[in-house]
Amino acid sequence: MARFTKNQCQPCPVRAKCTTSRDSARNVGFPPRELLELQLRNRAERQEPAWHKYYAVRSGIEGSICEFAHGHGMRRCRYRGQAKTHLQHVLTAIAVNIERLSR
């Protein structure tokens, strides 16, 4: 971690490339080499068409999970016991499917 004081950071000619903050100093973190290499490799993979095809499927699934969690209150169960909880999940899934078909 590199920390720059306000007096060091303000007169820097390339400050606009580092931060958008007007009045505070800048802290820059340098991850360990292994983590940096992993991040760079993952960012390079995200540019490939195969990754975009894979992520298209995943984003659809994540959208459904988000809809259940936020739109239908699936973060909390109304009942106790595995059988009743399962029934709530099944009935909610049926309701979501009917709602999607009606659109």
Q: Residue 92: name the closest of 76, 62, 63, 68 by CA.
A: 68
Rounded CA separation 31/37 (Å):
10
User: How do residues 67-102 score in pLDDT, each as one tens digit?
Assistant: 888 888 888 888 899 999 999 989 988 988 898 899
Q: What is the pTM of this model?
A: 0.47
Rounded CA separation 92/74 (Å):
9
User: How do residues 20-32 score in pLDDT, each as one tens digit?
Assistant: 777 777 788 888 9
Rounded CA separation 85/93 (Å):
12
Rounded CA separation 41/50 (Å):
15
Q: Which amino acid is at 95?
A: A
Q: What is the pLDDT of residue 87?
A: 92
Rounded CA separation 85/83 (Å):
5
